[in-house]
Structure 1
Amino acid sequence: MSKKAELPIAAPLYATYQCQIPGTAITTPNPSIRNYYYNRVTKLTCTRRFLREGFTSPELNVLDSGWVVNPHIERLSYNMRYLGSFVRRLIRDLIDEGYYIYFNGVDDYYVKGKSWYHERHFEHDGMICGYDEERKTYSIYSYDSKWICRRFETPVSAFARGMNAALENGCDGMLYGVRAGSDEVAFSPKRALRGIREYLDSDMKSQPFDGKEYFAEGIVVQTYMRRYLDMLLDGSIPYERKDRRIFRLIWEHKNVMHDRIGMIEAALGMEGKYAEKYALLAAQAEKMRMIYASYSKRRRDDLLAELICGLEKLENDERRILSRFAAAAERKIEV
């Protein structure tokens, strides 16, 4: 039995939401699994609830970006309610076998270092990636109390208290042992291009605000985000209820798309000019992320107006660059 163990963390492609992190953070033993996301995970999504149900988040996401959808991740699952005192031994043994521990339904209020520690009761997720028996700590990779996604230590007793508090509150949390599978996942330029075409195949005519579908999907979701910002600006969504995360996800989506374009160009022997052009969009998305972060700290409506204009330009430029790139790459494949 080890007294201490620490599993490696790879930089996650998506980390806006905790459920996205394990999909690529645990891939050090098999980095090819990241190709699953480059091949298939391209579409922005949001719900329409903020438009007509008084909901204050657009629930922006990237379709199939959560770890649970990834078929190349091995997983074991355990209901916390039935683990009792065995939970500590289980976590230690799974980590010794190379499994990361993804958990949900643990009250942040009691878990030192977590986002809502000693601020509010919130049954939250996270990932344990190590333990130290002598220090009686777990190593957690999650959002910390400063809302930075990083590795930090928390006492075993604090985690147990958060778990038990949630159980007492009627929340049956889960522990999942997750690790990279052994499958070699090849990058497929053809499949990745299909994903780009699927992302582009959306506009306001096919996906209007008053559409009956629960979700909107594709590049047009950025128009929905402009509408969300309009509602913040006119007060129909209160400033205090804003979703702070939307521009981080847009920025991550552009970074992954930029990588994907570069990989397609390299695989097809293209010049690389489209990745270079798209890099400007990724940089613009990062700038908007920082502007929105500033707005989230202190309300300034002039910043919202700037973001609305910037997002419209981003969507228009993205549609133009991706359409031309896809056409050029498809000609290469046909040849």
Structure 2
Amino acid sequence: MNAFQLPVLNPPLKGFLRWAYTLSITSAHEETIPWYYSNFIQLSCTKKFLEDGRQYFVDFFRGKPNELNFNNPFLLTCSVNYTILENLAFDAWPKFFADQIRNGYYCVVFLDESRLSPAATYQKEPFPHHLFLYGFDWDESVFYASMFDHTGVYRNLQIPFREFQDAVQSMRQLLKENLTADHHTYFYKYEPHSPYPFDKTAAIDQLRDYLNGETHLNRINYNPDDEEAFGIKVYDYLQMYYDAVENNDSRLGDRNDVRHLHVLWEHKKMMSERIGYLVDEGIIPYDEELVEGYKDVTKRAMKLRDQYIRHEIREDKEVFERLRLRFEQFRDEEPVLLQKLITLLEG
């Protein structure tokens, strides 16, 4: 068998690759859907990005470690670093990963993405990143991979073996010169889980955490400190971030303005889809205020993201006033809607 592909689905969340990669595997299996809708409720963001110059991040939060590290119940996970792979001959890398794929393992390889021609960073500064491999064609000497391309679109494409090897070799050199840390290469095999019905308790706990601006997830292994804000409090730091952007604050580190708004929209979309799922499954009764309210929040969040994209193409200073207005609206409206959802779930 000279060509082989493992099943993947267009992932429902793409803001960060840890979600896109793992969910593209599990979303292809219907039995994972109740688990999916029991999760992805909480948000977190960095707080001290102006004080220490770190990049600002806002993202879904499912406790620590992150999703690449053994955090998905449907994925049998193993990981290796470059030290372990050191004795693997350079020419043997394509066959090694093709063999893992043939054995049912999706491969998430840590390499230098600037050596991959579809990447936005191609032939620019080194860019250590994870690449998702789900298939190969040995006759064509290509891997089937998923990644964000040079236009910023997440899609499936082909990576020639020679580019893959160049990216690996470049990463080896970066590590040898201590120019980056090794974030490991991961192997995932889909393992059917015991039945996982929708978990009302987990969902209610996360909803309450969101409303209270705190987290109780995985505290046995992770002690939240002053570095992160959670839930409804994320709006305060989103506003702080875009105020700094508007004022050209020199303390801002690397910027990714649109991604923050994209993740915000994904969160509202996910909440709206979850409510639809709960109604369809008979877990909660239909409530027009809740269903239509979250659909409206989702539409406004998407429009806000799109308006900012247009602002980056052709400057529109009024976009910052719209950001302030929307953040204030969401901060006021979401507690009412989510408290109603909690009440319906509690029955």
Name the structure 2 match of 1:268: 283
TM-superposed deviation, 1:137? 0.8
- 1:257 is aligned, of 250, 255, 271, to 271
Identical columns (%): 21
Structure 1 outlier segments of 4+, above 6 Å: none
Q: 1:52 to 1:131 in 2, by over 3 A?
A: same
Structure 1 position 73 matched with structure 2 position 68: no
Counterpart secondary structure, 2:249: coil
Structure 1 position 58 matched with structure 2 position 72: no
- 1:87 is aligned, of 93, 97, 111, to 93
Structure 1 position 18 matched with structure 2 position 34: no
Name the structure 1 match of 2:207: 196
TM-superposed deviation, 1:228? 0.9
Distance 2:244 2:50 in 1: 9
Which amino acid in the other structure matches residue 189 of structure 1?
K
Distance 2:43 2:104 in 1: 32
Task: Return 5+ residue gaps in structure 1 as ranges.
Answer: 204-210
Name the structure 1 match of 2:328: 312
TM-superposed deviation, 1:318? 1.5
TM-score, with structure 2 as normaliser: 0.85
| Count of paired positions | 321
The correspondence of residues 176-255 of structure 1 with structure 2, limited to 5 A, is 176-183=186-193, 184-202=195-213, 213-237=226-250, 241-244=254-257, 245-255=259-269
Counterpart secondary structure, 2:73: coil
TM-superposed deviation, 1:4? 0.7
TM-superposed deviation, 1:194? 2.5
Counterpart secondary structure, 1:117: coil
Distance 1:257 1:116 in 2: 33
Which amino acid in the other structure matches residue 116 of structure 1?
T
Name the structure 2 match of 1:122: 127
Task: Return 5+ residue gaps in structure 2 as ranges.
Answer: 215-223
RMSD: 2.3
Name the structure 2 match of 1:291: 307
Name the structure 1 match of 2:47: 48
The correspondence of residues 144-163 of structure 1 with structure 2, limited to 5 A, is 144-163=149-168
TM-superposed deviation, 1:229? 0.7
Counterpart secondary structure, 1:301: coil
Q: 1:174 to 1:54 in 2, by over 3 A?
A: closer
TM-score, with structure 1 as normaliser: 0.88
Q: 1:192 to 1:115 in 2, by over 3 A?
A: same
